[in-house]
Copies of this chain bind each other. A is one copy, B any other.
């Protein structure tokens, strides 16, 4: 057993695991009107900083039920995170219940009033009394700023346990967690040294990936664990290391990442938490290239992916969405003969689309999509999920046939990912030329 392993084992002995529970409030989850994605996101983020989620409880908008849930959670967890029930309408009573639960009273919190007033001003609206009420907070809590909405969060401490109440609106909750709650929890509880390394792969299914990585995974030291996190259009590999010496752990893990880069160089598009569209954007910037898109079946989703990255205007010129053949002919100069001979969903058409949008927009690169997203429009020869994509630059034009067997939105999503990956592959191979 290596020194490191020994140190880890010692560490484990004096290291008390910090336990969290998540309570979500609102009938819309219980009635199945919305899927609780908040808890999954919180579970991921808490796990990352070494906090273990022991239970997630979804309950109704009822005072006694909320109190019962708090009492139960308190017996099991060090941290109780509550989302939901903070809207201005009267069916949202979390704040009142917490005020009673912690035997305190509501008091106007000026900074929150300023925030909510600002938000209304920005929206060009008058502050309503209901929203003004949202600035009244329990006296004993530390308010958590909500820069994206009108309901502030609340941080309570009792018997060395932390209770945090946040809005159920996902983007408001996420911003609060990232900006305030997670850092403060890290500081408040002595969490172990945990380092994560994320290696992003694309273009290879999980099963093939795990075959390629089997030997390497077996060779990992026991304090470094590997997780496969498949998602739309790729598999994220997350290495999680735990130890007492951060610097050494960092070194060990970097070494493992280097090994990975040797084993599957073609499938890794980035290290760390960045998206494929972001990675492609960085490649384009680095090479000073511009790009334009011509979309049929993806209907603007590819353009959206590219422009979802701030700063994309440095390399993205624009797109022609040619949903109808007329538009392909009139706006993209696709030859009528091409459409007649090969059809809209064909290598010839998609290549013309990519080449012509490149010329039209005077960019270094042009990409195009044409296919049958479904559920309608399939034929025996070209069933739903038959999709052609193309990449064109000054040197060459390449096209690729995709066959997906998913529903409309997934076919669109997978196609956009495949195009971005085609751009990535072309750009990285260009370097070698």
Contact A321 B300 (CB under 8 A): yes
- Answer whether residue A36 sits at the interface, using C-beta atoms and an 8 A cutoff: yes
Chain B residue, CB-CB nearest to A301: B304
A360 to chain B, nearest CB (A): 8
Contact A130 B207 (CB under 8 A): yes
| CB-defined contacts of A45 to chain B, threshold 8 Å | 32
Number of A residues near B (Cβ < 8 Å) is 108
A203 to chain B, nearest CB (A): 12
| CB-defined contacts of A59 to chain B, threshold 8 Å | 54-55
CA A324 to CA B208, docked complex, whole Å: 41
Contact A374 B89 (CB under 8 A): no
Contact A31 B57 (CB under 8 A): no
Q: A31 contacts which of B28, B43, B312, B404 (Cβ < 8 Å)?
A: B43
- Answer whether residue A303 sits at the interface, using C-beta atoms and an 8 A cutoff: yes
- Residues A300-325 near B (CB distance < 8 A): 300-304, 306-308, 310-313, 316-324
- Answer whether residue A188 sits at the interface, using C-beta atoms and an 8 A cutoff: no
A199 to chain B, nearest CB (A): 13
Contact A58 B32 (CB under 8 A): no
CA A294 to CA B295, docked complex, whole Å: 14
CA A48 to CA B319, docked complex, whole Å: 42
- Answer whether residue A44 sits at the interface, using C-beta atoms and an 8 A cutoff: yes
CA A29 to CA B227, docked complex, whole Å: 12
- Answer whether residue A30 sits at the interface, using C-beta atoms and an 8 A cutoff: yes
| CB-defined contacts of A52 to chain B, threshold 8 Å | 30
A135 to chain B, nearest CB (A): 13
Contact B40 A32 (CB under 8 A): yes
Binds B, one of A101-109, A406-414, A423-431: A406-414
Binds B, one of A116-124, A243-251, A261-269, A345-353: A116-124
A-B pairs with beta carbons under 8 Å apart, 22 shown: A30-B56, A32-B41, A34-B40, A35-B37, A54-B60, A56-B58, A89-B210, A122-B385, A128-B207, A130-B211, A300-B307, A307-B321, A307-B412, A308-B412, A310-B375, A311-B376, A313-B324, A313-B377, A317-B324, A319-B319, A319-B321, A331-B331
